[in-house]
Amino acid sequence: MSVAVDLSHYAKPERDGALAVDLAVDGISCGACIGRIENAVKVLPGVIEARLNYTNRRLHVAWTEGALVPARILDALAEHGYRGHPFVPLRAEQEEAAQARKLTRCMAVAGFAAMNVMLLSVSVWSGNVTDITPETRDFFHWASALIALPAAAYAGRPFFASAWRELRAGALNMDVPISLGVILALGMSLVETAHHAQHAYFDSAIMLLFFLLVGRTLDHAMRRKTRAVASNLAALRAETANRFHGDEIVAVPVAVVKAGDRLLICPGERVPADGIVQSGRSEIDESLITGETMLRQIAPGATVYAGSLNSSGTLTLAATAAGDGSVLDEIEKLLDKAVSAKSKVMRLADRATRVYAPVVHASALLTTVGWLVAGASVHDAIVTAIAVLIITCPCALALAIPAVQVVASGALFKANVILASGDALERLADADTIIFDKTGTLTLPEPHVANAAEVDPALLQLAARLALSSRHPLARALAREAKRRVPFEHAVEEPGRGVRATIDGTEARLGSAEFCGVAASDKQAGSQIYFSHAGGCAIIHIDQVLRPDAIETVEALRALGLDLQILSGDRVQAVQPVADTLGIRQWAGGLTPTEKIAIVEMLKREGRRVLMVGDGLNDAPSLAAAHVSLSPISAADVTQAQADAVFLGDRFSPVLIAIVTARRARLLMRQNLWLAAIYNFIAVPFAVAGFVTPLIAALAMSGSSLMVTVNALRARA
């Protein structure tokens, strides 16, 4: 049944009494779609503006209030073969967008200042070895100060704010030495300029800010790109609930369903909200909740959970408040505990800062003392010490890790892995044990025909085409096998029994054994669907099947030296064949979420770094407890929120690619940190000895930054 979707919940007021809505659009394949989509919507009466953002696949539509029923927009898109989904930008995404704009503005200002100051500095440097007059040099220095000081005050804010925050919390991050270096360099240059000195370091300070801002802006842009895709996918997944308004049924977004609402759930639909069944009988598939693949019988009074798949009958549901059920309650409690117990992993960059900052600051102090002892003036001693700070200013060090992160997360994005947290790469690289969930993780999220090879291909094709006429989940699984996706005409569905149609003059039946007049199978695992036509009959097993490349991927993971285990909430009989096929010796079935998390905790106590790969609601606590976690895009919402990375598609190889890329990225990050350290080892003695001029500082800084950036590009392979 199709019910108009009520978009009014998503419409926001715009200027001049107009309303607007943002839609995530599915099905965009090429640039020509831009015009097609915009024109399809623009011709609707009342539409003021329709603009598609091709980069993030979102359509912004504005219309005069009252002149258009917004559901017509979705219809117009559907007529042209696109699916539109109302979209509410997540708060985190909006904040990130604001942050990105701020960073870009800072980068622009720093870039402008760096170029102009460099223009003046190069003139001074070449003048210093030829015939520049002291007056001209002073003029150039003052002009540099005039550009650099306001620019640094503006563009340095992200660093100064972060450094101040950390210092007040009694901690140290990379922004502390950066801010210190910039402020000291500018201050010293100002004093030197006032004293008509030969050297000023305005260019070094502002160039440092520019390089770092370029790195951060790129890092941010990459994260925004992946996040936009992730939230589009969330919008595409967001389902609507059929809510009763009196006797009428209106499709409303799941987000607006309240406790006490009455909902209608048709066969083949997912349950949109937790609730108690008021009327109707059915069987539901709760594999997304518990991992159990056996269908559960549902009668009035039973509790059902959001995410379960309704199979045969129509149900009326009274929605209850979220977390009102026993399973969810238990999971929520476990989840809270796991999240609070999660130890904070020290990131590579923070570890580097912890070594770097004291060493550099101590050597600057020693330089001052050393020169004073050696009989230099206070002024000279301090100037040399500040030169040490400038030359060691952690430009390369601060770029070493973000540069790799940008390149590696871009490579993963292309391989269908979306990173959710910034330090996920480092933790993925640490993993030495992988725990898989079975249902929906090792197996495909939807059931498939398990015995396609044993059934007569001609019969299977007929059965699959007949299945196109039914909404029953088993029939849908079978219909996926149909090569010619044309339903038979005059197919009749008999609710609860099956479908029948006349093919080539004889009646074909698809459904229960009794309906088809076939002897029932005694097979226990999975579900059976029967087909009979012109004397021939087939028993088709519908079951969870492994992802197409699961076997190769698991073998490759084992070859990497990872310890593999399966922990499933499904029955032991269902887990064993999967474990045997994949050759995984350590496995357990019939586990509750509490037992799963206990095993993860036990492995952690043994000192293992556990990567948990799971999709079910029952996996959410273990995902949160594990060192790092992955989940397929089909996972339950609560579960996906816990995962450090999400992978798309039916294939299992993204898990392997994620680990290989992460390990490579960690290697490159370490290399980069070493490169930066070696650079400092070479540069510091020069600075301590007082040989560093602004020209040398500029060359050294640009050189080392380029080196780590070029090295980071290797993370793409």
**Residue 29 Cβ, how far from another protein at the closest point, in Å?**
12
**Residue 58 Cβ, how far from another protein at the closest point, in Å?**
9
Give the CA angle between residues 56, 62, 68 to the nearest 5°: 125
Strands 282-285 and 448-449 turn out to be unpaired
Q: Which residue among 24, 40, 145, 147 contacts another protein (CB under 8 A)?
A: 147
Which position has the token pair 């904070």?
344
Pairwise CA distance, residues 305 & 288, whole Å: 10
Pairwise CA distance, residues 504 & 575, whole Å: 42
> Which H or E element spans position 673?
helix 653-688
* Residue 54 makes contact with another protein by CB under 8 A: yes
Residue 388 C-alpha from the chain's centroid:
41
Count CA atoms within 13 Å of residue 11 on its CB side: 22
**Residue 18 Cβ, how far from another protein at the closest point, in Å?**
18
Q: Which residue among 15, 16, 29, 31 contacts another protein (CB under 8 A)?
A: 31
**Residue 713 Cβ, how far from another protein at the closest point, in Å?**
21
Q: In this structure, how many other beta carbons lie within 10 angstroms of the beta carbon of residue 627?
A: 22
Crossing angle for the helix pair 91-128 and 134-155, nearest 10 degrees? Answer: 170
> Which of 151/477 has CB closer to another protein?
151
Q: Which residue among 69, 71, 90, 143 contacts another protein (CB under 8 A)?
A: 143
> Which of 39/198 has CB closer to another protein?
39
Q: Which stretch binds another protein (CB under 8 A): 132-140, 154-162, 576-584, 639-647?
A: 132-140
Q: Which stretch binds another protein (CB under 8 A): 131-139, 162-170, 607-615, 627-635?
A: 131-139
> Which of 105/609 has CB closer to another protein?
105
> Which of 56/303 has CB closer to another protein?
56
**Residue 227 Cβ, how far from another protein at the closest point, in Å?**
15
> Which of 26/239 has CB closer to another protein?
26
> Which of 65/95 has CB closer to another protein?
95
Active site residues: 437
* Residue 133 makes contact with another protein by CB under 8 A: yes
* Residue 94 makes contact with another protein by CB under 8 A: no
> Which of 147/557 has CB closer to another protein?
147
Tokens of 454: 């044993």
Q: Which stretch binds another protein (CB under 8 A): 25-33, 395-403, 417-425, 641-649?
A: 25-33
* Residue 56 makes contact with another protein by CB under 8 A: yes
Pairwise CA distance, residues 11 & 3, whole Å: 19
Pairwise CA distance, residues 141 & 696, whole Å: 18
**Residue 101 Cβ, how far from another protein at the closest point, in Å?**
7
Total number of residues that touch another protein (CB under 8 A): 28
* Residue 35 makes contact with another protein by CB under 8 A: yes
Q: Which stretch binds another protein (CB under 8 A): 53-61, 259-267, 402-410, 677-685?
A: 53-61
> Which of 34/90 has CB closer to another protein?
34
Closest CA to 429 of 609, 606, 559, 208: 609
**Residue 244 Cβ, how far from another protein at the closest point, in Å?**
41
- In the DSSP assignment, the letter for residue 17 is G
Sequence-separated (6 or more) residues with CB below 8 Å from residue 93: 224, 227, 228, 231
* Residue 196 makes contact with another protein by CB under 8 A: no
Q: Which stretch binds another protein (CB under 8 A): 31-39, 357-365, 576-584, 605-613?
A: 31-39
Q: Is 319 within 8 Å of 273 (Cβ atoms)?
A: yes
Q: Which stretch binds another protein (CB under 8 A): 52-60, 159-167, 291-299, 530-538?
A: 52-60
On the 0-12 / 13-18 / 19+ scale of CB atoms within 10 A, 282 is buried
* Residue 49 makes contact with another protein by CB under 8 A: no
Q: Which stretch binds another protein (CB under 8 A): 75-83, 99-107, 390-398, 566-574?
A: 99-107
Sequence-separated (6 or more) residues with CB below 8 Å from residue 254: 238, 239, 240, 241, 272, 273, 306
DSSP of 126-141 = HHHTTT--HHHHHHHH
> Which of 53/279 has CB closer to another protein?
53
Tokens of 53: 């953002």
Pairwise CA distance, residues 706 & 698, whole Å: 12
> Which of 120/499 has CB closer to another protein?
120
Q: Which residue among 4, 12, 98, 139 contacts another protein (CB under 8 A)?
A: 139
Q: Is 440 within 8 Å of 616 (Cβ atoms)?
A: yes
Question: How would you write 398-455 as a 3-class SS string?
Answer: HHHHHHHHHHHHHHHHHCCEEECCCCHHHHHHHCCEEEECHHHHHECCCCEECCCCCC
* Residue 537 makes contact with another protein by CB under 8 A: no
Crossing angle for the helix pair 593-605 and 326-341, nearest 10 degrees? Answer: 20
Q: Which residue among 55, 297, 326, 524 contacts another protein (CB under 8 A)?
A: 55
Sequence-separated (6 or more) residues with CB below 8 Å from residue 599: 435, 567, 588, 591, 622
Q: Which residue among 12, 13, 39, 81 contacts another protein (CB under 8 A)?
A: 39
Q: Is 453 left (phi over 0), alpha (psi -120 to 50) or beta?
A: alpha
CA of 422: how far to CAs of 219, 220, 673, 683, in Å?
10, 10, 18, 31
**Residue 224 Cβ, how far from another protein at the closest point, in Å?**
11
> Which of 30/486 has CB closer to another protein?
30
Which position has the token pair 């402020």?
183
> Which of 101/342 has CB closer to another protein?
101
**Residue 381 Cβ, how far from another protein at the closest point, in Å?**
34
**Residue 124 Cβ, how far from another protein at the closest point, in Å?**
12
> Which H or E element spans position 278?
strand 275-279
Complete edge-to-edge strand list for the sheet that includes strand 563-567: 417-419, 645-647, 628-632, 610-613, 433-436, 563-567, 586-588
* Residue 93 makes contact with another protein by CB under 8 A: no
Sequence-separated (6 or more) residues with CB below 8 Å from residue 488: 465, 466, 468, 469, 501, 502, 503, 508
**Residue 414 Cβ, how far from another protein at the closest point, in Å?**
15
* Residue 48 makes contact with another protein by CB under 8 A: no
Q: Which parts of 104-123 interact with another protein (CB under 8 A)? A: 104-105, 108-109, 112, 115-116, 119-120
What phi, psi does 296 have (nearest 5°)? -105, 135
**Residue 43 Cβ, how far from another protein at the closest point, in Å?**
12
* Residue 134 makes contact with another protein by CB under 8 A: no
**Residue 116 Cβ, how far from another protein at the closest point, in Å?**
5
> Which of 217/441 has CB closer to another protein?
217
Question: Which residues contact another protein (rule: CB under 8 A)?
Answer: 30-32, 34-35, 38-39, 52-56, 101, 104-105, 108-109, 112, 115-116, 119-120, 133, 136, 139-140, 143, 147
